[in-house]
Amino acid sequence: MRSFFSILGALSALSSTFANAATIGKPVFFHYLIGTVYDEHCQQDILDARALGADAFALNIANDDAAWSLNTTSYLFKWANEYNFKLFFSFDMTGFSNPDQFTDFLLSYVTNDAYYTYNGLPFVSTFNGGASTYKFGQDSVNDGWKVALQDVMSNAGHPIYFIPAFQDTTALPDYFTNDFPTLDGAMNWNSWPFASQGDIIVPTTDDQTYLTAAHASSKTFMMGVSPLQFKHIDSSQNWYRRGEQNLEYRFGQVLSLQPDFVELQTWNDAGESHYMGNSWPEPIAGTVEGAYTDSYDHTGYQQILPAFIKAFKAGATNTDTMFPTNGANAQGVFWHHTLLANADCSADGLGKPSGIETVEDKVTAVVLVAEGVTTYNVSIFSNTDTLLGTTKLVPGYNAYSVAGLDTGTVVVSVEDTSSGSEVVKGTGPIAVSASVPICLETMA
């Protein structure tokens, strides 16, 4: 079912002029799922991420003894070396049960020239691993990781910089002084509200807690940034976490909080629908993820990511300096769902995802406007020509969201009000629908 999934319309083509952006300043990563990815697609992913200004891929790996996993990893390292890009592992603890399953593998890569280091140490992260089941024979989770990973790596002559995303723990002020004293830092994976929190702007409560706790203990904080989360795989994996009031606020939240690292979630996770890079067909061919992401191209987000990455690296504390990066006077992206919130999906065996009650029939546009340009307006249309709203644009960053999304094609247009001429326009590639009797089959 593609139903509740955002799609994007790009307001102009991505420029290649960012291709040689220097990756200095604060580090920015993309979370990258290791699946079967062809050699030439690994090459393309690295070229594309580098062109956006990112420093590295956080390679989510859940299996290091399958040929596809080893092959994709080796292709990525080959191309990262070729293009001076960096990679580090984010061990997925839904796939591993003990670091002893991956320490030899990690040791085989930490000396690779393309392995990302911080303060001279190989950078290592995780997804999950903080729950009480991850003690690995020690008395605490902290000591489990210390003995089974950190000490093993140190004893092998390769001490690591360990900054896990223990999303299975709670952000607490004494996170580092009490529960996890030997971590080097923490990532907040949860960059989406939970449905139980209602129709709110993506909160920063946990980010602030981790950041304050980390800096008080001379540790670091990595903040997650993601557009939405929609999973529609089976009855235990069928949920939506709000994309409304998320990404368009998250940039400003990051710049104001000033985390030490940013991890964009994700480059290619089709299952959770939050990919911002290429979602290649080979890892999901014939799967339900392949069906519900088919033809939903998310590379439109890349219109605005370079300006954000540049601002973060430059130490900006707000979005004011997020100007177009393609040389144009206006550049942007818009997103919306392709089924209305109350759409009929009765014949979809999985049913509507949990969290569906937080879906809003809205269109959100982010438009970057060049310095000194003060005469532009943006208008959002539903069903091709039904005007939902118009607003004046300011130089720099503009985020605009309107209610009233209806069936048909979404169009977003930027006009120069001094001349009445259209500056740039985007047309949604997939029309909005209100009733799809058999969601999965008809839309796949």
Ligand X SMILES: *[C@@H]1O[C@H](CO)[C@@H](O)[C@H](O)[C@H]1NC(C)=O
Interaction site with ligand X (CB under 6 A): 67-68, 71, 377, 390-392, 417
Three-state DSSP class for residue 97 = coil
Q: How far is the CB of 237 from ligand X (least distance, A)?
A: 25
Q: How far is the CB of 68 from ligand X (least distance, A)?
A: 4
E runs forming strands in 74-178: 86-92, 117-118, 121-127, 161-162
Q: Which is nearer to ligand X, 180 or 381 (CB)?
A: 381
Q: Which is nearer to ligand X, 264 or 369 (CB)?
A: 369
Q: Which is nearer to ligand X, 235 or 421 (CB)?
A: 421
- 250: closest CA among 231, 229, 235, 228? 228
Cα–Cα distance between 423 and 370 in angstroms, integer? 12
Cα–Cα distance between 136 and 253 in angstroms, integer? 36
Q: How far is the CB of 391 from ligand X (least distance, A)?
A: 4
Under a CB-based contact definition with an 8 Å cutoff, are residues 241 and 195 in contact? yes
Q: How far is the CB of 375 from ligand X (least distance, A)?
A: 9
Under a CB-based contact definition with an 8 Å cutoff, are residues 272 and 266 in contact? yes
- 312: closest CA among 7, 25, 107? 25
The residues with which 391 forms a beta bridge, in sequence order, are: 378
Q: Which is nearer to ligand X, 202 or 378 (CB)?
A: 378
- 72: closest CA among 31, 118, 40, 106? 40
**Chain-centre distance for alpha carbon 141:** 27
Q: Which is nearer to ligand X, 148 or 414 (CB)?
A: 414
Q: Which is nearer to ligand X, 74 or 208 (CB)?
A: 74
Helices (H), 217-351: 247-257, 288-293, 305-313
Helices 247-257 and 305-313: angle between axes, nearest 10 degrees: 10
Q: How far is the CB of 157 from ligand X (least distance, A)?
A: 29
- 361: closest CA among 272, 225, 243? 243
Q: How far is the CB of 289 from ligand X (least distance, A)?
A: 19
Q: How far is the CB of 72 from ligand X (least distance, A)?
A: 8
Cα angle for residues 23, 213, 130 (degrees, 5° grid): 85
Q: How far is the CB of 390 from ligand X (least distance, A)?
A: 5
Amino acid type, 93? M
Q: Which is nearer to ligand X, 226 or 401 (CB)?
A: 401
Q: Which is nearer to ligand X, 140 or 390 (CB)?
A: 390
Amino acid type, 142? N
